[in-house]
Structure 1
Amino acid sequence: MELGLITILICIVIYEIFEHLILPLFWMIRYRKRKSSYGPSGIIGRKCIVKRWDGESGKVQVGSELWNAIGKSPLIPGDEVVVQDLEGLTLRVSASERLQG
C-alpha cells in the first residue's frame, strides 16, 4: 500500500516539475526566436499599398492601418512599396522590386 502511494506522489511531483518548469522554458525559447510584429522591427521590410501620393510624401496602407509615408520614388495610388525605415510616425518607403525592375 505504501509503495503505491509513493509511486503516485513521485508521478505528481514529476508532472508538476514538467508543467511548471520545463514547458514554460520550452515555450519561452521557441517564441523568443520569432520576429516581433509590433514596433519598428515588425514593420520594417513589410510591403504596403500606396493610397495617396503627392511628390515625395503621401499615405500608405500597412495591413489595416493608414500611415504617413515619405519616399523618393514617383509613386501612384495602388503601387506596392516596401517599408525601409520608421521615423517617428512616418514610414520611409521605396518602390517594390516589381516596380523597379
Structure 2
Amino acid sequence: MGTLTYDSTTTVDIDDRDLAHLQLVIVGKLRRKECFLFTWENAPAAGGTTSIWMHPAANLTLSFSESSRQLRINRAWVEELAVSANSARGLLLTPEPADDDGSR
C-alpha cells in the first residue's frame, strides 16, 4: 500500500498498482502546467469522497511500499484516467479495466 501526500496536509493510502497509474497521469498534467481536480473515495470507515485541486506549485509526495518499476502498466487504464483528468469532473480513480491482451 502506497501513499499520496498533498501539501503536507492531506494523505491518502492508495494501492501501489493504482498509485503507479495515477502517477503517470498526474505527473504528465503537472509537467504541462495543467491544474485539475482529483477525487477519490475515502476508506469505508470514513465514508464519502475527498477532492483536491492539483496544481504545479503544490507539494506532492508519492510513496510506494514496493518498487513501482516492477509493476506492469495497463495503457488502457492510463488512457481512461487521463480522459477523466481532462474532464470537468476531474481525475477519478476508477477500477482497472482489462488490458489490451485481456489481463489486468
TM-score, structure 2 normalization: 0.22
More strand by share: 1
Using CA pairs below 8 Å that are at least 6 residues apart, which structure has the higher relative contact order? 2
- From the two aligned structures, give the one with the greater helix fraction: 1
**Bigger Rg, structure 1 or 2:** 1
